[in-house]
């Protein structure tokens, strides 16, 4: 009996040890972060910021590898959705995911992923080319009302820039743009300066990055001006209640082990506290928001309630 108990005790120790070692081992190899946009856009810049901070401060024993997937963002999102939930594939997206869900552009939901963390927020800017005839947002929207569906607005249909465009139109009853599928920030900048489109919206980070190449900012969709683009008025200043803020969301495939979800969330939280990330967030006009666990899940549910009505309007405009 004593010998049997000894063996049972020894086996229990071994099993427990294996469990603890498995938990402690994550990650055992590089982690793939899917960015469902081409390189250079706001989401890509955000991920690479955290990639550098985590590597420089050795917050994880293996590096983050960024995988950019161009085209419509739903392609990259689906790739993450269908990835093996082994703790080595993650997705970074924003409320465009909810826009596509609300309008039926995708057949999956934000709740089909494991929420990891929100690492920042940013606001968008209404932009045109520097040589455009529209000098102010009022000029643009009044023309969109006088000549409905004639002004070409580049966007990702059903995504952030499309929803932001609808938000602007809601401040000028009767106005409408001709929304065309272009893509994310980098693609829209290229289409705009190439005269394939006439207007779009970019994040503050994208605008700051591309401004020297011939852009004019008409209005910053926030309550206060950003110090690095202080000459661009806010929509509130122009008497238009068109605020559009966006959180950067990190997700994992459903069923990803908790140690991987929590491990990445904790590494991101530590990265948020580094001087490098703090400086970059300020430079790019990002609010230093961080949420994980139940707080992040609650924010997602509340954002769905805010986003769904606006997203549904994109089906009509």
Digit-coded pLDDT (tens) for 178-220: 999 998 888 999 999 999 999 999 988 889 888 878 899 999 9
pLDDT at 265 over 50: yes
User: Would you call 211 helix, strand, or coil by DSSP?
Assistant: helix
Q: Which residues have a Cβ under 8 Å from the Cβ of 17 and sit 6 or more positions away?
A: none
Q: What is the pTM of this model?
A: 0.74
Q: Which residues have a Cβ under 8 Å from the Cβ of 260 and sit 6 or more positions away?
A: 26, 27, 86, 87, 88, 252
Q: DSSP label at 184? A: S
pLDDT at 71 over 90: no
pLDDT at 8 over 60: no
Which value, to the nearest 10 degrees, does the dihedral of the CA atoms of residues 223, 229, 233, 237 take? 30
Q: How many CB atoms lie within 10 A of CB 259?
A: 15
Q: What is the pLDDT of residue 24?
A: 53
When pLDDT is averaged across residues 39-65 and rounded to a whole number, the result is 94
Nearest one of 44, 45, 48, 108 to 79, comparing CA atoms: 108
User: Would you call 291 helix, strand, or coil by DSSP?
Assistant: strand
Which residue has tokens 């602007």? 168
d(CA 256, CA 55): 23
Task: Give the model confidence (pLDDT) of 133-182 as tens digits.
Answer: 999 999 999 999 999 999 999 998 878 899 999 999 999 999 999 999 99
Reported as a pLDDT band with limits 50, 70 and 90, residue 10 is very low
Reported as a pLDDT band with limits 50, 70 and 90, residue 40 is confident
Which residue has tokens 């430079």? 283
CA neighbours closer than 13 Å in the CB half-sphere of residue 137: 28
Q: What is the pLDDT of residue 3?
A: 52
Q: How many CB atoms lie within 10 A of CB 58?
A: 7
123-229 matches 30-122+246-313 in CATH topology: yes
Nearest one of 61, 6, 64, 3 to 35, comparing CA atoms: 64
Q: DSSP label at 222? A: S
- Domain map (residue ranges) of the chain: 30-122+246-313, 123-229
d(CA 150, CA 74): 27
CATH of 30-122+246-313, one of 3.40.190.150, 3.40.640.10, 3.40.710.10, 3.30.465.10: 3.40.190.150
Question: Which CATH code is given to the segment(s) 123-229?
Answer: 3.40.190.10
d(CA 144, CA 49): 38
């Amino acid at each position: 009996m004593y010998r049997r108990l000894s063996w049972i005790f020894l086996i229990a120790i071994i099993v427990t040890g294996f469990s603890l070692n498995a938990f402690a081992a994550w990650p055992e190899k590089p982690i793939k972060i899917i960015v469902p946009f081409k390189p250079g856009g706001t989401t890509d810049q955000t991920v690479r910021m955290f990639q550098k901070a985590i590597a420089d401060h050795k917050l994880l024993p293996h590096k983050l590898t960024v995988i950019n997937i161009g085209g419509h963002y739903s392609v990259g999102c689906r790739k993450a959705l269908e990835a093996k939930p082994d703790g080595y594939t993650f997705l970074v997206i924003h409320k465009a995911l909810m826009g596509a869900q609300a309008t039926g552009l995708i057949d999956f939901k934000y709740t089909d992923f494991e929420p990891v963390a929100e690492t920042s927020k940013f606001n968008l800017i209404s932009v045109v080319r520097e040589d455009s005839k529209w000098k102010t947002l009022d000029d643009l929207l009044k023309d969109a009302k006088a000549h409905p569906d004639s002004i070409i607005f580049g966007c990702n249909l059903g995504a952030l820039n499309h929803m932001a465009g609808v938000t602007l139109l809601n401040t000028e009853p009767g106005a409408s743009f001709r929304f065309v599928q272009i893509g994310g920030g980098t693609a829209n900048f290229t289409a705009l300066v190439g005269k394939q489109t006439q207007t779009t919206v970019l994040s503050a980070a994208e605008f700051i990055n591309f401004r020297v190449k011939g852009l004019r900012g008409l209005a910053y969709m926030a309550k206060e001006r950003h110090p690095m683009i202080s000459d661009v008025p806010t929509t509130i200043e122009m008497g238009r209640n068109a605020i559009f803020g966006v959180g950067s969301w990190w997700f994992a495939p459903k069923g990803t082990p908790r140690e991987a979800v929590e491990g990445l969330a904790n590494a991101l939280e530590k990265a948020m506290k580094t001087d490098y990330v703090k400086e970059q967030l300020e430079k790019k006009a990002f609010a230093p928001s961080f949420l994980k666990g139940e707080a992040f899940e609650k924010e997602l549910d509340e954002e769905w309630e805010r986003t769904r009505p606006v997203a549904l309007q994109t089906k009509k405009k």
